[in-house]
Amino acid sequence: MDRHHPLHSSFHGSMRSRGSSSTVGSDPREKIKDCFRKFIAFMFTQVGVGALVVCYAILGAVCFIHLEKYSPDQQLHDVKLWRQNCAETLWNITLSINVFNETAFVQKANEVLKVFQSNITAAIHTGYTGRSADDIWSFPAALMYSLSVFTMIGYGNIIPKTVWGKIVTIAYACFGIPIYILYFCNMGKVLAQTFKWLYITAHECSRRDDAQFENGEIPQKRKITVPSTACLWVISFYILTGTIMFGAWEKWNYLDSTYFCVISLCKIGFGDFVPGANIADSAGGSHLKLVINFIYVLLGMGLVAMCYNLMCEDVRVKVRELREDLKNCLDDITLKITVCMNDTKLLQSVSSRLKALPTTELIDAVSAVSLPEEIDIEDLHNNQHIIVCIRINNLDIRRSKFIMIYSV
């Protein structure tokens, strides 16, 4: 019985372990947690962040349409009422005043029109645009509004008028701005790596005709950085594309189109130029233009982040090279100063030795040396000789006869 007991217990232990593992594996809460962890990990990837930004913009557009589009517009109702009252008052004036009394008619009509004008001016200052909520809050327009909120552009051509619309805008911005910053950083890294790979590939292809490649030699690889000028060319080409596109669609001149592209990509967003902002475009349907504008701005900000990353890398490399050059220059200057000081000390020691000799012995020793008329000082230094010029009794000794060469 004792022999079979361990086998029996191990069998039951294995069964318990299997049962426990199967229980854990089949637990729906663990599956939900695992799926949630995978979803969070995917959301922090480059593709996940881009999809998150697009989905967040779509969600915001749907929410703002629901809050603003179907709410009663009291301002539009007031303007209609003012218009009707103005027309009725003018008609009553026409009936009550003699047709031939032009002065009285013009005076009373001007009073009525001034009241109507002041009412319209006050309505415009509070956001009246002459369009109904159905025309303003279309899906592409709401999408652009959502983009302008979490990207901090703030065009200002569309604003929420309801209380809940303003509250949701505050909450939407608080959650959306961190998501946009995450998108800005990740998309900048992805586009920077892609553009850097394309630049390095093009650079290597352009070197295929070099002599080293023709001789079959593989040149030594060195770190290649994308220059800042290439980044400026890319962003300039993107702005030029937007200038041509918006100029053709919106009938803007090229200066206004360039102005709109720059203030949008720089997140200034004055709101004086917005695609599809006028009444005619809204009535005629500019939904496709607004969607393309959404894609243009979102992709353009990714390109701005790409250029920022590449230019920062280029600046870091240039600063590192400048620091190394300055270090080498300082080392060279220090070495030259040290050599000069050593040479000066050696000259002083030689001069002191020569001055210790009597004048007659010094002249005999110096005159015994025969040198050519022209002496190459650099050559003498290369041969490790130092030229020593001395004065005797305040008289210069002639160089052709009285030059002493002292071997180091």
Chunked in runs of 10, what are the mean pLDDT values of the chain (408 residues)?
A: 46 46 60 77 74 92 91 82 89 78 84 90 81 83 91 86 92 94 88 89 75 54 80 94 90 92 89 68 60 88 91 90 91 86 69 58 48 44 42 39 37
Residue 28: helix, strand or coil by DSSP? helix
Q: Which two tokens stand for residue 281?
A: 């475009």
**Closest residue by Cα to residue 389 from 358, 362, 361:** 362
What pLDDT, on the 0 to 100 scale, is given for residue 385?
A: 41
Sign of CA dihedral 77, 83, 84, 89: positive
- Chain mean position to CA 160: 30
Alpha-carbon separation of residue 213 from 203, 206, 210 (angstroms)? 14, 11, 6
- Chain mean position to CA 258: 18
What pLDDT, on the 0 to 100 scale, is given for residue 276?
A: 67
pTM of the model: 0.65
Dihedral pair phi/psi, residue 392, rounded to 5°: -125, 125
What pLDDT, on the 0 to 100 scale, is given for residue 5?
A: 47
What pLDDT, on the 0 to 100 scale, is given for residue 383?
A: 41
What pLDDT, on the 0 to 100 scale, is given for residue 130?
A: 78
What is the distance between the alpha carbons of residues 87 and 80, in angstroms, rounded to a whole number? 11
